[in-house]
A = this chain, B = another copy of it.
Amino acid sequence: MNDDTALPAQPAEALALDSLIHERVRLGIVSALAGHESVRFVDLRDALGLTDGNLSAHARKLEDAGYVTCQKTFVGRTPRTEYALTELGRRELASYLGHLESIIRTARR
């Protein structure tokens, strides 16, 4: 390096980010769920500007990892789908956010 300072180890922290959460659509989903006990499918879809299929596909990956639960109920005759973060999902998100903050500090040195 031409400024004679060693590269710290932190850049590699970017590569340690949980790729399941890091993907932009899924990051939108988990950060939206983080502030709520549960969020309806339609609210999440509209807040993120996604299609039904796109939200379903990404939410399914989060469900498969145990980060998110999907509950289907009926309100009268109307089916309602709600998503919620699991305890595991909250822990993994917290860890991910901690990594992000470390990366931000590195990048702003």
Contacts and interface: CB of A to CB of B under 8 A. Distances in A.
A34 interface: yes
Nearest to A11: B32
A48 interface: yes
Given A7-B47, A43-B1, A104-B100, A12 B34 contact: no
Q: Which label, helix, strand, loop or mixed, suits the secondary structure of the A interface?
A: helix
A24 B31 contact: no
A7 B44 contact: yes
Contacts of A24: 14-15, 17, 19, 22
A68 interface: no
Contacts of A82: 2
B108 A97 contact: yes
Interface string A72-109: 00000000001000000000010001001101101111
A1 B28 CA distance: 16
